[in-house]
Chain A
Amino acid sequence: MLRYIGKRLLIAIPTLLIVSIFVFMLQKILPGDPALVMAGEERDPQVIAFIRAKYHLNDPLIMQYFYWIGGALRGDLGISLRTNQPVLVLIGQKLPVTIQLAIMSMIFAFAIGIPAGIISAIKKGTIIDYVANIVALSGLSIPNFWLGIMLILLVSVQLGWLPASGFEMFTVDPVRSIQTMIMPAFVLGTGLAAALMRHTRSAMLGVLKSDYVRTARAKGLSENVVILKHAFRNALLPIVTLSALLFGQLLAGAVLTEQIFTIPGFGKLIVDAVFNRDYAVVQGVVLCTAFGFIVMNLIADILYVLLNPRMREGA
Chain B
Amino acid sequence: MKFKHLLLALATSVALVGPGLAAEFKIGLNEDPDLLDPDQARSFVGRIVFASLCDKLVDITPGLEIIPQLATAWNWSDDGMELTMDLRQGVTFQDGTPFDAAAVVANIDRSQTLPESRRKSELTSVEKIEATGDHQVKFTLKAPDATLLAQLADRAGMMMSPTAFNASGLDFANNPVCSGPFSFGERVQQDRIVLNKYDGYWNADAIHVDKVTFLPIPDTTVRLANLRAGDLDMLERLAATDVKSVKADPNLSEAEAVSLGYQGITVNIANGAGAGSPIGNSKLVRQAFSWALDREAINQVVFDGAFAAGNQPFPPTSPWYTKDLPVPPRDVAKAKALLKEAGYDKVDVELTVANNPVNQQLGQVIQAMANEAGFNVSLKSTEFATLLSAQSAGDYQTDQIGWSGRIDPDGNIYSFVVTGGGLNDNDYSNPEVDKLLNEARTNNDIATRKSLYDQANHILDDELPIIYLYHQTWIWALSKDIKGFVPYPDGMIRLEGVTKG
Q: In whole Å, how far is A285's beta carbon from the nearest beta carbon of chain B? A: 13
**Complex alpha-carbon distance, A315 and B392, angstroms:** 58
Q: Is the CB of A262 within 8 A of B216?
A: yes
**Complex alpha-carbon distance, A260 and B230, angstroms:** 17
Q: Is the CB of B222 within 8 A of A262?
A: yes
Is B61 engaged at the interface, CB distance under 8 Å to the other chain? no
Say yes or no: A268-B190 contact (C-beta < 8 A), given A156-B229, A165-B222: yes
Is B384 engaged at the interface, CB distance under 8 Å to the other chain? yes
**Complex alpha-carbon distance, A82 and B42, angstroms:** 10
Is A90 engaged at the interface, CB distance under 8 Å to the other chain? yes
Q: Is the CB of B225 within 8 A of A156?
A: yes
Q: In whole Å, how far is B427's beta carbon from the nearest beta carbon of chain A? A: 15
Q: Is the CB of A36 within 8 A of B385?
A: yes
Q: In whole Å, how far is A101's beta carbon from the nearest beta carbon of chain B? A: 14
Could you say which residues of chain A place their CB within 8 Å of the CB of B10? 161-162, 175, 179
Binds B, one of A14-22, A62-70, A202-210, A269-277: A269-277
Could you say which residues of chain A place their CB within 8 Å of the CB of B206? none
Q: Is the CB of B11 within 8 A of A44?
A: no
Bits for B1-20, please: 1 = Cβ < 8 Å to A, else 0: 00000011011011100000
- For A267, give the chain B residue with the smallest CB separation: B190
Q: Is the CB of A164 within 8 A of B42?
A: no
Q: Is the CB of A32 within 8 A of B385?
A: yes
Is A83 engaged at the interface, CB distance under 8 Å to the other chain? yes
- For B232, give the chain A residue with the smallest CB separation: A165
Bits for A116-146, please: 1 = Cβ < 8 Å to B, else 0: 0000000000000000000000000000000
Say yes or no: A43-B422 contact (C-beta < 8 A), given A36-B392, A156-B231: yes
Say yes or no: A46-B120 contact (C-beta < 8 A), given A32-B385, A157-B229, A161-B7: yes
Is A38 engaged at the interface, CB distance under 8 Å to the other chain? yes
Could you say which residues of chain B place their CB within 8 Å of the CB of A162? 7, 10-11
**Complex alpha-carbon distance, A44 and B389, angstroms:** 14
Say yes or no: A32-B386 contact (C-beta < 8 A), given A166-B231, A260-B219: yes
Could you say which residues of chain A place their CB within 8 Å of the CB of B382? 31
A84 contact from B32, B35, B190, Cβ within 8 A: B35
Could you say which residues of chain B place their CB within 8 Å of the CB of A264? 188-191
Could you say which residues of chain A place their CB within 8 Å of the CB of B392? 33, 36, 43
Q: Is the CB of A83 within 8 A of B422?
A: no
Is B228 engaged at the interface, CB distance under 8 Å to the other chain? yes
Name, among A33, A41, A264, A268, the residue most crowded by chain B CB atoms within 10 Å (CB to CB): A41
**Complex alpha-carbon distance, A77 and B242, angstroms:** 42
**Complex alpha-carbon distance, A27 and B449, angstroms:** 47
Say yes or no: A40-B385 contact (C-beta < 8 A), given A161-B8, A163-B229, A262-B217: no
- For B155, give the chain A residue with the smallest CB separation: A40
Q: Is the CB of B190 within 8 A of A165?
A: no
Q: Is the CB of B42 within 8 A of A38?
A: yes
Give me 7 A-to-B residue pairs in the complex whose CB atoms sit less than 8 angstroms apart, sorted by A's number.
A31-B382, A32-B389, A36-B392, A42-B42, A82-B35, A84-B171, A156-B229
What is B's interface to A at a CB cutoff of 8 Å? 7-8, 10-11, 13-15, 32, 34-35, 40-44, 115-118, 120-122, 170-171, 173-174, 188-191, 215-219, 221-222, 225-226, 228-231, 382-386, 388-390, 392, 403-404, 415, 422-423
